[in-house]
Structure 1
Amino acid sequence: MLNLDLGTSYTNVVSLLKDCEISENVFQIDNSCPIRLDISSDEAVIRFKMMEDQSYGWQSDVALLYFKSGNLKSITIYFREKYSYRGLICGKVGLGDEIRDLKEYFALEYDDVDEVFYAFNDGRSSGLELHGTSCDLSVDPAQKIGAMKVFLVD
Structure 2
Amino acid sequence: MRVFSTNPRQTRELAAGLVKKILASPPHRKHARVLALVGDLGAGKTTFVQGFAKALGIKNRMVSPTFLIFRKYGTSIRQPADNFQFRYFYHVDVYIIQKSSELNALGFKKILSDPQNIVLIEWADKIKRILPKDTIWVRLEHGRHEKERRIYF
Q: TM-score normalised to the size of structure 2?
A: 0.29
Q: Which has the higher strand share?
A: 1
Relative CO higher for 1 or 2, CA cutoff 8 Å, sep ≥ 6? 2
Report the structure number with the largest CA radius of gyration.
Answer: 1
